[in-house]
C-alpha cells in the first residue's frame, strides 16, 4: 500500500488494542477517543495526511525501486547530497506542521529504521545476528507505513559507577529463555514516548560499561504482543480548549514504562542477541546516529524558530524592544538558531559516502548541536519567562472571556498593539511552552534527548581529531 | 480578641462572600469548599492554629501594652535586637510549617501592616495624609487578627520607557472622584496573590518615573467592598491526592486581577492620596522594605533548606553522590543557603534604631539577597531537574499503585535504598516543586518577588556607599 | 611592481622615518632595529615573503587584468563563490604563519582597501564625495603592495550617552580648514595598531548618534605626512628569547595614539568629507563589513585551532585527560571552533552578488561570530589557565637551563611524557598566550575587535529578519 | 626581643645569604638591593613598621604571659570572641597597608604557626610525633618575630588519578635517611611564594589518596640550611616607576621551586615524620584551616574593596554610570563583597571553643568563601577590563609625560573629571591589577589559593550537615 493517511493510521491503531494502563486503569475501547490521547492522535493523523497533501506530497514521498505505490520519503536511503537535501525538506515539512514540538513525529522512527537497514550488512556473518530481519522490517515498514516507538533506557535503580546492575530477578529487560519459537524477554524498559500508541516497538540496548550479554539484543515487535504492557505517567492534557492550552491539547505525547512479561519475540523479528560486540558496534558504527541526529537537529531548528517567533511577539506586545537587555536576550536566540542552521548545513556539506554506499551526514557538527541544544533550549524557555515576567502569571481562561467580566478583561489586559483576548492567547502560548507541565516535560525531553550531557561532552572530546592542531603547536615550539 | 484560630479564619472568610470570578463563573457558596481554594484555605487555617499550638504559642504571640489577649508576634514592633530575633523565630515557625512555599503566609502582611504603623509619623503634617488611619488599621488588624493581601502592580499595557501610561479611561486604578464619604477608585491592579481570600486588601502604589498624582494613594478596605472584584487565573490544583501533587494540593495560593469598579474608599480608610512625594517617601523611607525583606528572606531560607533536602534525597535515592558534577551542584545549593543565612544575620547584627525608636534591620544585606535569590532559586530548581534527569518524566500516579500493575511498578521502579512507592513519592515531590504548573509559578514568583531584577541591581549600585573604597584608591595613587 | 617581499617592506619602512614616540623619545634611525619593533617587523617581513614562497605563491597571488606582475590575492575582488574560496585559502596561509596572533597581518588592510574600492560607486554623485580617489588608492596599493593601518576610534573623554562630544579645541580629529590644497585635520584618534609601522594610514569615522559633520570624512595618507605623530604605549616585548617569550618576541604589534597636528590631506587623497549620510552609508552599506569580517573570522578560527592545540598538549603533558571536567572544558573549545567553522562556511555558501557584481559573503553568520568570539576567546584563555593551574606560575627562564640548577630542573619539572625543558617551553607558551601582558592585550583586542559587545548584540537583533518566525506563530494562533 | 621593625627585618634577611637562583644566576650580595626583590622587601619592611606605628601599635601587638616585650598580635591564641575580633582588626591593618595584594604578609604565616601551636596536643603520644617542637617553634617565632614561608605542593609530574607518584629517584621531597642528627630530605616542592625571602621555611604535606609515609612529615628550618635551594621564576617587576607599574613595583612576591639537596633537618625541628595518620589528622583536625582561612578571607575582603574602588573610579572617570550593564557589573562586585563580609562575621559569631580551649572560627562560612572567591575574583578582574574597554590598551608611560608630546596627551587623554595624567595613572593601576603579568599571577594565585576548586566543592558537600534538611523532607512525605 505504501503511504498511510491519518484515518487509516487511527483505525489500525484502534484495532490493535494494545495493553495500556493509565492512572490505574487498563484502557478499554478506542484509544483515539480517550481524553489523554485524543489530541495527540488527531495531530498524528494530520501528520500522516501531509503525505497526501496535494501541495507537498511530491516532497513527502518517493518511488522505491520495485514498489508501485509511493513510499514515505523518510524511508529514502540517501546516496547523494541531493537525497540528503530532499530528506531535509521532508523532515522540515513534518516539523513545521507541529512547530518542532512532536519528538516522535513518524519521520523520526522511519529514519531510524532506514538507518538500521542501511547498516545491516555490518552484522553479516556475526554470531547470533540476523541482518536479513532488519531488511525485512524495513520492507514491511515501508509497505505498510508502520508507526513505531523505540525504547532503550534501562530502569534507574542505582546509577553509581561501580554498580554492575545485575540482580536475581530481571529488572532491566533481558533474555530469560531461548526456544525454537524465539527469545523470551522479561523485565522493563524506561521509557517509551508514545509507548502503546504505535504499531510496533523497536527494542535495542545502548552500549555501556558493564554490558550483560543477556541484554545485548535488538528486535521489533507489534505493540499488542502478548505480555507487552505500557504503564503511563499522568497526562498533561488539561482540556481541549486550544485557547487555554494551545500546545498540550495537541502535542502531549505521553511517556510510558514498557513491561515485558515473558514476551515471546519470534526469531524472524530478532536482529541480534547475546552478542555484546555486535550490539555495541551496531549502535556506534552504523549510520544510526548520523541519520537520527540529522532528523532531530532539523526538528530542533524548527522549534527554535517557533520559540524565537514567540519571544519577538511578546516583545512587540508589551513594547519592550528598546531595552538593551531584551535585545541581548533575543540576540542570544538568534545566535543559537543561526549556529544550529550552520552546523546542520556543514553536516550535509561534509557528508561522505559510507562503506555501503549511503551518503552519511558528517557526525561532528551534529554532535556539536547535541552538546549545545540541551543547554540553549532551557535557556530560551527561561528567556521567554524573563520577557513575560509577571505577565506570565495572571492569565484568565477562555471561559472568562464569555462572561460579564470580559468587559474588565478587555480594558485591563489590553496591550500596546493587541486587544486583551489576543494578548492572553499569546501569553498562554508562551506559558504552555515554558511553564505548563507539558512545557517543562518538553524542556526535560530536549535536555536529555541525546543522553547524559556529561557523557556527550566526553564523547565529543574523545572522538574529535585534535592531532593536527597539536602538531601545529609542536612545530611552532620545535618539539 | 487577639489571635485567630484556623476555624474562625475560615468561618469569617466564608461570611464575607467576596466577589471572585473563576473560569467564567462567579463563586457562590462557601469559598472554603471550592476545589480551587479548599487545599490552600485548609493550609492557611493550619497556619493560624500554630498561634495556639501549645508547644510554640509563646514564641508565636506577645502581650501588647493595653491589650488583654495575646497578639500575634508578627505585629510586634521591635525595639531591640532581641525583639528582632523573636520575630525571626516566629517567622521561621510559619515558614517551616509550609516549607517556605506560601508567599502570603499571614506573617508577611502582618509585618507589612506593622512596618506601616511604625513609620506612620513620617506622614505627619503632610498634605492629604492621614497617619492616624494607619495606626487605627494596625490596632484593628491586631485585635481581630485580620488577614490581608496587597496589590501594587499596574496593568502592563506598554512597558516602553517613554510611555507615560496616561489614558482616557482609567486602566491603572486611580481616584476618579472625591466626595464627602471618601475616594472613588476606578481601574485595575495586577496582581493580588490570594486576592479575595483575605479579610482586607491593602492598596498602594509603587513609586515610579512618571507618577500620576491620581495614583499616588494608599488605603486598606474590606475584600467585600462593593465594586471590588477578583478575577482569577486558571487553578493549578490538579486534585486532592497528596501522593500525586504533594505541593499544589496544599499550597496553590491563586493570583487574581483586582478590579475597582467605582469602589468607594471611606475617608477613615485612606492613608494618603494625591501626594506624589508622600507616596514615594512612604515606600522608600519607611521601614517597609527593611521589615518586609526580613520576613521574606527568612521564608526563602527555609525554602532553600527544603530544596536542598529534596536534592540530597534524590542523590541518595539513585545513588549518585560520588559524581563530581553532582557534588558541585549540591555545593552550589549549600553556598546559596549559607550565604543567605549569613546575610540575614548580618542584617540583624547591623540593625539600627530608626528615628521612631524601632530596631530596623540593615537593608543592604537584605538587598543583596533580593539580588541573589531571584537568580539562585531558578537555578536550584534546574539542579533538581538535572539530578532527577529522565527519572522526572515517567512517574505513575497514586491509583496505579492500587492495581495489578503495582507488581510491575514495585519491581521496576525500586531504587537503591527505597521501594518503588517511596521513590515515586520523592520524585513526584521534586516534580511538583520544579516542573508542575504550580512549581513554575513558584519559580516566576520568586524571580519577581522583589521586582524587576534589572532595577534591583541598579538600586543596589546607587544606594551602596562606595565613597570610602574610592578614597582608598585615590590615596594609594596620591590623587 | 606588484607583490612585495620582506626585505623591500623593511627597507621602504625604514626610509619613511615616520614620527613615532616611544617612552618619551622620538625614535631615530631604523625602526626595524628598535627592540620594541624588531621582532614584529621581522615577522611581518616573513609574511610578505609568503607571497614569493614557491610552494604557495600561486595561492597567494593572482593576475589582475591589465597588470603584468602578479598581485597579492588579498586584493582580489571576488565575483564568484570560487573567488571567495580562493580568498579564504590565501587568508588561511597568512593566518597559519602567525597562528592567528597578528591582527594586522597585511591581508586584513588589503581586504579593507579592496572592499572600499568594490563599493566606491555607492558615492557616485554624492556631495563632497570622490569615489575616484578610492579607486586610485586601490590601484596604488596593489601596484606597490602598500602596507596600511587604519584608525577610527575617537578619544574616550566621556562616554555618557547624553554627551555630544563637542568641544572648543578639537579633540576627536576633525576638519579645521579647507583650502585649495586639501583638508586640514586637527585632533586625535585612539588607537592605531601598528600605527607608524606601515606605509599609509587609512582614516575614517565610525557612524554614531551625534555625528559631527566635521568628523564625517575618510582618506588615506602616508604615515610620514607632516604633522602626523604616533605616540606608543609601553612595549610588551620582554626580550628576544623565543624560549622565554615565544609570542611577544614575535607578534607584539604595538598600539599608538594618532595625533593630527594640522595635517594637510591633499584633495586627491580624500574619499569624502562633510557628509554625514555618505559617511554612514559607506560604512554600513558597502561590502566593508562583509569582507573585513570574512578575513577576521578566518584568522580567529586559526587562532582557535592554535589554542585548542595548546590546551590538548597541556592535558597530555600533565596527563589529566581522564577528568570529566577537563573533557568538558576541551569540548567547549571544540564546540567553539566547529561553530565558527560552520558559520564561516555558511557565510560563503549564502554569499550573494551585490549590486556592483561582487560576491559578498552573507553577513548574518559572520555577525553571529562577531557576537560569539569576543566571549569565547577570553573563556578559552581561562580554560588554558584552569588546566595549567599552579603549573602556570613557577616557570624558570631559558638561562636557568644553562646553569648548575638545570640538574634540579630536569628532575623536578619533568612531566609524564615530556622532559623538563619541553614542559617549561609548553607552559611558557600557554602563559605567554594567556597571562603575559602581551597575552592579556590580545584578549582585550579580540574582545573589542568588532566594537562594543552590547551594541553588537543590539545590531544583530535589529538587523535580523524575524518576520517569518513571527508570522508562523500568528498563523498557529489564528491571529 | 618581641616585635621586629622593617630595618631589622631587612638586615637579618641580608645576613642569611640564602641560596637563591634567579634567571640562571645565584644571587650574591644583599638580596634587598636586587631589582627583582627590592620593591617587595621595602614593602615588607613597611609592614613590619606597622607594629611600631604609634597610632595602631596597640592594635598590632599584645603582651604574652611571661614575656616582657610586646608580641605581634598575629601570634595571639584567641580564647574569646573578643580575641577573634582583635585578630580581625590586626589582620585588616596589615591587609589595608597593601590593599590585600600581598598574600604572604607576615600575619599569614604567623597565624599558621599560632594554629599549629594551638593544636599541637593533638599529636601527644602518637608515634614519631614531637608536639614539643611545635611549641618551641611558636616560642622562637614570637620572640624573634621570625618571617616564614611554607611549601606543600608536590611536583606535578603526572596528575592522573591512577598515578601513585612513586619513582626511584625522589622527586617529591621525602625522607631518604634518618640518623642521630635528624632526617635527611631529598626532592623538591613546588612552589614557595617568597621562597628564600624569609627567615625560615615551614614544610609539611597536604594529605592525599596515596600518601607515601616518607612524605608524611612536617618541620621548620632556616632558609639558609645547607642544601636548601630556591629557584625563582621570571620576575614581574618591570621597573621602579610607581606611575608605570604601581603594583608590581611594590608587591611582586616572587615564587620559587624549593630544592632539598640532602638537607639535614635536626631532630628538634621535626614535628612529625613517617606517620600518615598523624600527618592527615594534623592538617584536617587542627585549627589550621579555621585560623588560616580567617586571615585569608579578611585579606580578600580588603582586596575586593580595593577592586570595587578602582571599578567605581573607572566608571566615574569615563562617565558611564548611567548604563544599566555597568550598574549590573558594579552591583555584582557589591554582592560579592557584602557576601564575603557577612560570611566572615558569621564565622566569628558561630565560633566555638575547641577541645584545647581556643576560640575557633566556624569553618563552614569560611569554606563557602573558599568556594566563591576563586570564581568571583577573576570575574571582578574581567569586569575591570570590560569597563576600561579599549581604554586599557593605549596607555603611555611616565616618561611620555616628561616630553613635548605631553601637550598632546594632556589634550587627547583627558577624561570627564580628570586630567590626562590622572586618567592614565588610574588606568595603569587597573591594567596592573588585571592585565600585567603581575596581575594575572595574582588572579591565578587567588584562583588556587585554597587548592583545586573541584575538590573544594566536593569537600564542602561532604562535610556539610545535610541531615536535618533531609529529615524535614522525609517528615513532609511521611517516609
Per-residue pLDDT of chain A (479 residues; tens, 9 = 90+): 789 999 999 999 999 999 999 999 999 999 999 999 999 999 999 999 999 999 999 999 999 988 899 999 999 999 999 999 999 999 999 999 999 999 999 999 999 999 999 999 999 999 999 999 999 999 999 999 999 999 988 887 777 765 555 566 889 999 999 999 999 999 999 889 999 999 999 999 888 877 899 999 999 999 999 999 999 999 999 999 999 999 999 999 999 999 999 999 999 999 999 999 999 999 999 999 999 999 999 999 999 999 999 999 999 999 999 999 999 999 999 999 999 999 999 999 999 999 999 999 999 999 999 999 999 999 999 999 999 998 999 899 999 999 989 999 999 999 988 999 999 999 999 999 999 999 999 999 999 999 999 999 999 999 999 999 999 999 999 99
Query: Does residue B203 sit within a domain?
Result: yes
Which among C160, C398, C408 is the nearest to D231, CB-wise?
Answer: C408
Are both A222 and A339 inside the same structural domain? no
Are both A232 and A332 inside the same structural domain? no
D86 CA: distance to closest CA in chain C (Å): 33
Which parts of A345-431 are beta strand (E)?
A: 352-353, 359-360
User: What mean pLDDT is predicted for residues B209-219?
Assistant: 90
Query: Does residue C1 sit within a domain?
Result: no
Taken as a whole, chain A contains a residue count of: 479
- Give the residues across from A183 on adjacent strands: A178, A265
Angle formed by the axes of helices C288-318 and C81-97, nearest 10°: 40
Q: How many domains does chain B have?
A: 2
As a whole number of angstroms, the distance between CA C240 and CA C246 comes to 9
Q: Name the domain boundary from A257, A282, A307.
A: A282
Q: What is the pLDDT of residue B164?
A: 52
Tell me, yes or no, if C375 comes closer than 8 A to chain B by beta carbon: no
As a whole number of angstroms, the distance between CA C30 and CA C8 comes to 14
Tell me the residue range of the domain where D357 lies: 287-476
- Per residue in D308-356, pLDDT (tens digit) is 999 999 999 999 999 999 999 999 999 999 999 999 999 999 999 999 9
Q: What is the pLDDT of residue D155?
A: 87
Q: What is the pLDDT of residue D465?
A: 97
Backbone angles phi, psi at C407, to 5 degrees: -50, -45
| Least confident among B66-70, B216-220, C423-427 | B66-70
Torsion on CA atoms C262, C264, C265, C266, rounded to nearest 10: 170
D398 CA: distance to closest CA in chain C (Å): 8
Model confidence at B166, pLDDT cuts 50, 70, 90, reads low
Q: What is the CATH number of the domain that holds A40?
A: 2.40.110.10
| Other residues' Cβ atoms within 10 Å of the Cβ of residue B153 | 20
Residue C228 has pLDDT above 60, yes or no: yes
Structural Rg of chain A based on CA atoms: 24
Are both B200 and B301 inside the same structural domain? no
Please name which of C101, C96, C10 lies closest in space to residue C48, comparing C-alpha atoms: C10
| Chain A contact set for C315 (CB, 8 A) | none
Are both D339 and D412 inside the same structural domain? yes
Residue C404 has pLDDT above 80, yes or no: yes
Query: Does residue D170 sit within a domain?
Result: yes
- Chain D residues 20-39 with CB within 8 Å of chain A: none
Query: Does residue B1 sit within a domain?
Result: no
The three-state secondary structure class of B52 is coil
- Give the residues across from B188 on adjacent strands: B172, B259
Backbone angles phi, psi at C9, to 5 degrees: -55, -50
Are both B122 and B220 inside the same structural domain? yes
Neighbours, chain C (3 or more CB pairs < 8 A): A, B, D
CA dist list (Å): A278 to A121, A126, A135, A209, A272: 12, 7, 17, 15, 8
CB contact under 8 Å between D320 and C160, yes or no, is yes
| Chain D contact set for B343 (CB, 8 A) | 338-339, 342
Using the 8-state DSSP alphabet, how is residue C129 labeled? B
As a whole number of angstroms, the distance between CA C202 and CA C204 comes to 7
Q: Which residue has the cell 586571615?
A: D295
Tell me, yes or no, if B452 comes closer than 8 A to chain D by beta carbon: no
Are both D132 and D184 inside the same structural domain? yes
| Chain D contact set for A325 (CB, 8 A) | 324-325
Q: What is the pLDDT of residue B219?
A: 98
Query: Does residue B242 sit within a domain?
Result: yes
CB contact under 8 Å between D479 and B425, yes or no, is yes
Are both D295 and D194 inside the same structural domain? no
Tell me, yes or no, if B324 comes closer than 8 A to chain C by beta carbon: yes
Which among D261, D393, D447 is the nearest to C441, CB-wise?
Answer: D393
Q: Name the domain boundary from B266, B282, B298.
A: B282
Using the 8-state DSSP alphabet, how is residue D418 labeled? B
| Least confident among A154-168, B310-324, C327-341, D203-217 | A154-168
CA dist list (Å): C267 to C129, C201, C214, D86: 11, 16, 16, 74
Tell me, yes or no, if C476 comes closer than 8 A to chain A by beta carbon: yes
Q: Tell me whether residue A286 is exposed, middle or buried, using C-beta atoms within 10 angstroms of its C-beta: 0 to 12, 13 to 18, 19 or more.
A: buried
User: What mean pLDDT is predicted for residues B44-50?
Assistant: 98
Tell me, yes or no, if C475 comes closer than 8 A to chain D by beta carbon: no
Q: Long-range contacts: C54-59, Cβ < 8 Å, 24+?
A: C56/C93, C59/C86, C59/C89, C59/C90, C59/C93
Please name which of A79, A173, A80 lies closest in space to residue A118, comparing C-alpha atoms: A79
User: What mean pLDDT is predicted for residues C433-450?
Assistant: 97
Model confidence at B167, pLDDT cuts 50, 70, 90, reads low
Tell me, yes or no, if C324 comes closer than 8 A to chain B by beta carbon: yes
Are both B253 and B309 inside the same structural domain? no
As a whole number of angstroms, the distance between CA A91 and CA A111 comes to 10
Model confidence at B157, pLDDT cuts 50, 70, 90, reads confident
Query: Does residue D377 sit within a domain?
Result: yes
Q: Name the domain boundary from A282, A310, A329.
A: A282
Query: Does residue D1 sit within a domain?
Result: no
Are both D317 and D278 inside the same structural domain? no
Give the three cell numbers for residue D255: 615564587
Neighbours, chain D (3 or more CB pairs < 8 A): A, B, C
Are both B262 and B240 inside the same structural domain? yes
Tell me, yes or no, if B362 comes closer than 8 A to chain D by beta carbon: no
Residue C161 has pLDDT above 70, yes or no: no
Are both C312 and C272 inside the same structural domain? no
CA dist list (Å): A205 to A208, A212, A217, A284, C294: 9, 10, 7, 11, 45
Q: What is the mean pLDDT of chain C?
A: 95
Residue D242 has pLDDT above 80, yes or no: yes
- Chain C residues 325-344 with CB within 8 Å of chain B: 325
Tell me, yes or no, if A324 comes closer than 8 A to chain D by beta carbon: yes
Q: Omega before C358 cis (within 30°)?
A: no
A190 CA: distance to closest CA in chain B (Å): 8
The three-state secondary structure class of B129 is strand
Please name which of C250, C189, C197 lies closest in space to residue C215, comparing C-alpha atoms: C189
As a whole number of angstroms, the distance between CA D58 and CA D64 comes to 13
CA dist list (Å): D104 to D50, D91, D146, D194: 16, 12, 13, 7
A394 CA: distance to closest CA in chain B (Å): 5
Task: Characterize D320-329 residue by residue with b for buried, 16 or more Cβ atoms within 10 angstroms of its Cβ, and e for exposed.
Answer: beebbbbbbb
Please name which of B208, B368, B356 lies closest in space to residue B288, comparing C-alpha atoms: B356
- Asked whether the beta carbons of A41 and A31 are under 8 A apart, the reply is yes
- Chain C residues 266-305 with CB within 8 Å of chain A: 305
Query: Does residue B311 sit within a domain?
Result: yes
Neighbours, chain A (3 or more CB pairs < 8 A): B, C, D
Are both B277 and B301 inside the same structural domain? no
Q: What is the pLDDT of residue D161?
A: 63
ipTM of the assembly? 0.96
Q: What is the pLDDT of residue B430?
A: 98
Q: What is the CATH number of the domain that holds C336?
A: 1.20.140.10
B352 CA: distance to closest CA in chain A (Å): 34
As a whole number of angstroms, the distance between CA C327 and CA C320 comes to 9
Please name which of B338, B40, B78 lies closest in space to residue B193, comparing C-alpha atoms: B40
Which among D96, D306, D368 is the nearest to B338, CB-wise?
Answer: D368
Residue of D nearest to B469 (CA): D309
Amino acid at each position: 500500500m505504501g503511504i498511510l493517511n491519518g484515518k487509516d493510521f487511527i483505525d489500525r491503531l484502534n484495532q490493535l488494542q494494545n495493553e495500556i494502563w493509565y492512572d490505574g486503569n487498563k484502557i478499554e475501547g478506542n484509544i483515539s477517543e480517550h481524553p489523554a490521547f485524543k489530541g495527540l492522535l488527531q495531530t498524528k493523523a494530520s501528520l500522516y495526511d501531509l503525505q497526501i497533501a496535494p501541495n507537498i506530497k511530491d516532497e513527502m514521498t518517493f518511488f522505491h525501486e520495485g514498489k508501485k505505490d509511493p513510499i514515505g520519503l523518510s524511508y529514502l536511503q540517501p546516496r547523494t547530497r541531493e537525497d540528503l537535501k530532499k530528506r531535509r525538506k521532508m523532515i522540515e515539512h513534518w516539523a513545521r506542521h507541529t512547530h518542532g514540538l512532536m519528538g516522535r513525529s513518524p519521520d523520526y522512527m522511519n529514519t531510524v529504521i532506514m538507518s538500521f537497514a542501511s547498516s545491516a550488512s555490518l552484522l553479516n556473518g556475526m554470531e547470533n545476528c540476523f541482518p536479513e530481519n532488519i531488511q525485512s522490517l524495513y520492507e514491511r515498514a515501508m509497505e505498510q507505513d508502520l508507526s513505531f516507538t523505540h525504547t532503550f533506557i534501562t530502569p534507574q535503580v542505582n546509577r553509581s559507577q561501580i554498580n554492575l546492575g545485575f540482580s536475581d530477578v530481571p529488572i532491566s529487560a533481558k533474555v530469560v529463555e531461548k526456544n525454537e519459537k524465539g527469545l523470551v524477554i522479561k523485565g522493563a524498559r524506561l521509557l517509551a514516548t508514545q509507548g502503546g500508541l504505535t504499531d510496533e516497538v523497536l527494542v535495542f540496548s545502548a552500549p555501556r560499561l558493564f554490558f550483560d550479554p543477556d541484554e545485548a539484543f535488538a528486535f521489533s515487535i507489534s505493540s499488542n504482543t502478548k505480555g507487552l504492557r505500557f504503564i503511563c505517567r499522568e497526562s498533561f492534557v488539561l482540556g481541549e480548549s486550544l485557547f487555554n492550552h494551545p500546545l498540550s491539547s495537541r502535542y502531549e505525547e505521553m511517556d510510558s514504562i514498557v513491561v515485558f512479561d515473558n514476551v515471546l519475540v519470534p526469531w524472524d523479528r530478532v536482529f541480534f542477541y547475546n552478542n555484546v560486540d555486535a550490539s555495541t558496534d551496531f549502535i556506534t558504527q552504523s549510520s544510526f546516529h548520523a541519520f537520527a541526529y540529522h532528523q532531530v537537529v532539523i526538528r530542533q531548528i524548527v522549534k527554535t524558530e517557533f520559540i524565537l517567533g514567540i519571544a519577538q511577539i511578546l516583545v512587540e506586545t508589551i513594547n519592550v524592544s528598546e531595552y538593551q537587555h531584551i535585545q541581548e536576550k533575543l540576540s542570544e536566540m538568534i545566535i543559537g538558531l543561526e549556529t544550529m542552521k550552520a552546523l546542520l548545513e556543514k553536516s550535509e556539506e561534509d557528508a561522505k559516502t559510507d562503506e555501503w554506499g549511503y551518503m552519511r551526514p558528517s557526525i561532528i557538527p551534529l554532535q556539536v548541536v547535541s552538546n549545545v541544544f540541551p543547554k540553549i533550549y532551557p535557556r530560551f524557555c527561561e528567556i521567554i519567562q524573563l520577557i513575560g515576567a509577571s505577565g506570565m502569571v495572571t492569565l484568565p481562561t477562555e471561559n472568562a472571556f464569555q462572561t460579564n467580566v470580559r468587559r474588565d478583561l478587555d480594558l485591563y489586559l489590553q496591550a500596546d498593539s493587541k486587544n486583551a483576548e489576543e494578548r492572553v492567547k499569546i501569553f498562554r502560548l508562551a506559558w504552555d511552552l515554558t511553564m505548563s507541565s507539558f512545557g517543562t516535560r518538553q524542556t526535560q525531553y530536549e535536555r536529555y534527548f541525546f543522553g547524559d550531557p556529561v557523557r556527550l561532552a566526553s564523547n565529543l572530546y574523545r572522538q574529535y581529531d585534535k592531532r593536527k592542531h597539536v602538531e601545529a603547536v609542536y612545530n611552532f615550539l620545535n618539539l
